[in-house]
Amino acid sequence: SENGGTFDLVILGAGSGGYAAAIRASELGMKVALIEKNKLGGTCLHVGCIPTKALLHSAEVADAARDSETFGVKADFQGIDMPGVNAYKDKVVNRMYRGLTGLIKAHGITVVEGEGRLTGPDEVTVGGAVYKGANILLATGSVPKTLGLDIDGEKVITSEQALEMQSVPQSVVVLGGGVIGVEFASVYRSYGAEVTIVEALPHLLPLEDESTSKQLERAFRKRGIKYELGTPFESVKTTDSGVSVSLQGGGKPLEADVLLVAIGRGPVSEGLGFEDAGVQLERGFVQVDENLHTGVGSIYAVGDLIPTLQLAHVGFAEGIYVAEQIAGLNPPAIDYDGVPRITYSEPEVASVGLTSAKAKEKGYETVELDYNLGGNGKSQILQTQGSVKVIAQKDGPVLGVHMIGSRVGELTAEGQLIYNWEALPSEVAQLVHPHPTQSEALGEAHLALAGKPLHVH
Ligand code: FAD
C-alpha cells in the first residue's frame, strides 16, 4: 500500500471535535493529518447547529410578522417560502464552510478526503494510503438513531431530511421530546404545521430542571403544539397520505403527513477497525479515561463518539484538550457540569450547573429563587414569558442556573461564569446589571437570594 506520510497527529473525522484538535495541534507545532469522508465541519456545520438555528431564526421572523400587530406594525404575513428559507440557511452554512476551509488551510493542516479505517494502533488507512501517526484521534461523531424504523426520507424522516424540506407539511408527529425534537417542533409550528410531540418520559426536555420543562410545556401548549408525555411509541405505518403512529397503551393512532424521528444520536464506531485495534466500545461509544485516552497506544477519542454531552462546544473543548495533552501541556480536566446547555426553541431553554433534583441527589442543602420574567423590563418589551431560576448551596455558592424565555440562551455566558467561579449570590448581587436587559433577571434573582430583593416580593 501507498505511503500517505508520517504525522505527529492523525485525526479521523473533521467535525467539531476533530477540526478543533487539528487547529490547536498545529498551533502547538505539530504536523497534522485530518481525514474526512464528507465535508470539513461535520454534523454541527452541515446538518446540525448552524442550519437548525437558521431555520429557527426564520421561524422567529415569521412569528414577528404574524404577530406584528402586537407591536403596532402593519404587516401582511403571507406564509413561508421554503426555497427562500433554504437559500438563506445555505448561505449561512456556505459562508461558515468557506471560512473553516480557509482556516484549516492557513494552519498548514493536511486534509485527506475519504473514508478512513484504523488499521493499527498508530495508523489510519484511506483507500490504499497509510497515514502513520505518533498519535491518533478518533472523532467520527454520531448519526441519528432510528429504532429500526424505515427512514424513507419523505414520510418518515430524521433531522437530516427535516433540514432539506421543500415545503411545509400540514402535520407532523415528532418522536422524541429532547433538544432536537423540541427545536424542530418549534420550527414546524412557526411555519404553520400542526405538531404533536411523543415522549416516553414524563416531560419535554427530560434532562432539564423539572420546573423549566413544565414551563416549556405550558408555553408550547399556548403555541398550539400538542404533546403526549410518558407514552412510549409503539409502531408506525405509512399510509397513502402520510403516517399513522401508534403509541403504547392503545388509544387512537396519531395521523400526520410526516413522522420526524428524533430519539437521539448514536456513535459512528462500527466497521472502522476500532475494536480490532483493542479500543473498547460500550453501546457503540468509545471508552476513554479522564485524559480522553482509549488505553490503546496513543489513541484518543473526542466528541459525540464518546459518552460525554453531545454538544459542539464539548467537542471543541475535548479536541483542544487532547491536542494540549499530547503536547505535554497538562491541561486542566473539563468540568462537564459547567458546560452550558441550550435548546433554541421558542421559548429558549438554557441552563448551566445542577438541576434541583441533581443537587438533592448530591446531598446539598439548597436555597432557590425562581425570578419571573414578568418583572423584567426587556422581557416585557419582547413580550416573552419565562423565568430565571438560581439554585445555591445554603450559605454557599451558586450550584445551577435554569432559564426559559425568548433569547435567554445568550444569558448562559454570565450563568457560566457565576457557576464556574463558584460565586456566592451576594457577590453576584454586587454586580450592577445594565437596564433594560434580560441579564437583569439574573441580577435580580441573586439580589433576592442575597436577601435584598428589588423587583420581587
Ligand atoms: P461530527 O460533527 O458528527 O463529525 C464527525 C465527522 O467524521 C463527520 O464529518 C463525518 O463525515 C466524519 N467521519 C465519520 N466516519 C469517518 C470515517 N470513517 N472516515 C472519515 N471521516 C469520517 N450542538 C450544539 O452544541 N449546539 C447546537 O445548537 C446543536 N444543534 C444540533 C442540531 C442537530 C439537528 C444535530 C443533529 C446536532 C446538533 N448539535 C448541536 C450537536 C453537534 O452537532 C454535535 O455534538 C457535534 O457535531 C459533534 O462533533 P463531532 O466532531 O464529535 O462529530
Q: Is the CB–ligand 1 distance for residue 100 below 6 Å? A: no
Interacting residues of 157 by C-beta distance below 8 A, sequence separation 6+: 151, 258, 259, 260, 261
CA pair distance 212, 349, nearest whole angstrom: 7
Take atom 36 of ligand 1 and give the residue whose Cα is closest. 48
Residue 21 vs residues 13, 33, 133, 352: alpha-carbon distances, Å = 11, 11, 14, 25
Scan for cell 428524533, then name that residue: 262
pLDDT of 53 higher than 80: yes
Q: Is the CB–ligand 1 distance for residue 210 below 6 Å? A: no
For the stretch 5-42, pLDDT in tens is: 999 999 999 999 999 999 999 999 999 999 999 999 99
Q: Is the CB–ligand 1 distance for residue 140 below 6 Å? A: yes
Edge-to-edge order in the sheet of strand 254-256: 233-238, 243-247, 254-256
Q: Give the per-residue pLDDT at 316.
A: 98
Ligand 1 centroid–CA 265 distance in Å is 10
Ligand 1 centroid–CA 287 distance in Å is 18
Are 190 and 62 in contact, with CB atoms under 8 Å apart?
Answer: yes
Q: Is the CB–ligand 1 distance for residue 159 below 6 Å? A: yes
Residue among 33, 354, 54 at smallest CA distance from 184: 54
Report the 10 Å Cβ neighbour count for 337. 15
Ligand 1 centroid–CA 42 distance in Å is 5
Q: Is the CB–ligand 1 distance for residue 142 below 6 Å? A: yes
Percentage, residues of the chain above pLDDT 70 = 100
Instruction: Find how far residue 102's CA is from the centre of its chain.
Output: 25
CA pair distance 345, 348, nearest whole angstrom: 5
CA pair distance 378, 383, nearest whole angstrom: 8
Interacting residues of 53 by C-beta distance below 8 A, sequence separation 6+: 344
Q: Is the CB–ligand 1 distance for residue 141 below 6 Å? A: yes
457 falls in which pLDDT band (50, 70, 90)? Answer: low
Ligand 1 centroid–CA 268 distance in Å is 10
Ligand 1 centroid–CA 222 distance in Å is 33
Ligand 1 centroid–CA 218 distance in Å is 31
User: Which residue among 19, 46, 49 is best mutated to probe the pocket of ligand 1, counting the most ligand atoms within 8 A of its Cβ?
Assistant: 49
Q: Is the CB–ligand 1 distance for residue 18 below 6 Å? A: yes
Take atom 8 of ligand 1 and give the residue whose Cα is closest. 42
Average pLDDT, the chain: 97
Ligand 1 nearest-atom number relative to CA 40: 9
Q: Is the CB–ligand 1 distance for residue 49 below 6 Å? A: yes
Coil, strand or helix at 147: coil
Q: Which residues pair with 125 in a beta bridge?
A: 117, 130
Ligand 1 centroid–CA 309 distance in Å is 12
Average pLDDT estimate for 241-270 = 96
Q: Give the per-residue pLDDT at 14.
A: 98
pLDDT of 249 higher than 90: no
Coil, strand or helix at 164: coil
Take atom 26 of ligand 1 and give the residue whose Cα is closest. 49
For the stretch 384-427, pLDDT in tens is: 999 999 999 999 999 999 999 999 999 999 999 999 999 999 99
CA pair distance 334, 362, nearest whole angstrom: 19
pLDDT of 456 higher than 90: no
CA pair distance 283, 267, nearest whole angstrom: 9
Take atom 33 of ligand 1 and give the residue whose Cα is closest. 48
Q: Please, what sign has the CA dihedral across residues 142, 144, 146, 151?
A: negative
Scan for cell 430583593, then name that residue: 453
88-106 b/e (C-beta count within 10 Å ≥ 16 → b)? bbeeebeebbeebeeebee
Ligand 1 nearest-atom number relative to CA 53: 28
User: Which residue among 140, 188, 345 is best mutated to probe the pocket of ligand 1, counting the most ligand atoms within 8 A of its Cβ?
Assistant: 140
Ligand 1 centroid–CA 138 distance in Å is 13
pLDDT of 52 higher than 80: yes
Q: Is the CB–ligand 1 distance for residue 245 below 6 Å? A: no
Amino acid at position 257, single letter: D
Q: Is the CB–ligand 1 distance for residue 242 below 6 Å? A: no
Selecting among 293, 433, 435, 446, the annotated active-site residue is 435
Scan for cell 454534523, then name that residue: 43
For the stretch 425-447, pLDDT in tens is: 999 999 999 999 999 999 999 99
Q: Is the CB–ligand 1 distance for residue 303 below 6 Å? A: yes
User: Which residue among 44, 158, 412 is best mutated to probe the pocket of ligand 1, counting the most ligand atoms within 8 A of its Cβ?
Assistant: 44
Q: Is the CB–ligand 1 distance for residue 156 below 6 Å? A: no
pTM above 0.90, yes or no: yes
Ligand 1 nearest-atom number relative to CA 20: 51
For the stretch 321-348, pLDDT in tens is: 999 999 999 999 999 999 999 999 999 9
Average pLDDT estimate for 176-197 = 98
Q: Looking at this predicted complex, what is its ipTM?
A: 0.99
Report the 10 Å Cβ neighbour count for 77. 13
Residue among 351, 381, 389, 369 at smallest CA distance from 453: 369
* E-state strands within 268-397: 281-282, 285-286, 299-301, 341-343, 348-353, 366-372, 387-393
Q: Give the per-residue pLDDT at 250.
A: 80
Ligand 1 centroid–CA 111 distance in Å is 17
CA pair distance 436, 452, nearest whole angstrom: 19
- Residue 180 corresponds to which cell in the numbers above? 432536537
243-247 vs 254-256, strand pairing mode: antiparallel
How many H-runs (helices) and E-runs (strands) does the chain carry?
13, 24
- Residue 310 corresponds to which cell in the numbers above? 453531545
Q: Is 435 one of the annotated active-site residues of the chain?
A: yes
CA pair distance 300, 278, nearest whole angstrom: 12
Q: Is the CB–ligand 1 distance for residue 319 below 6 Å? A: no
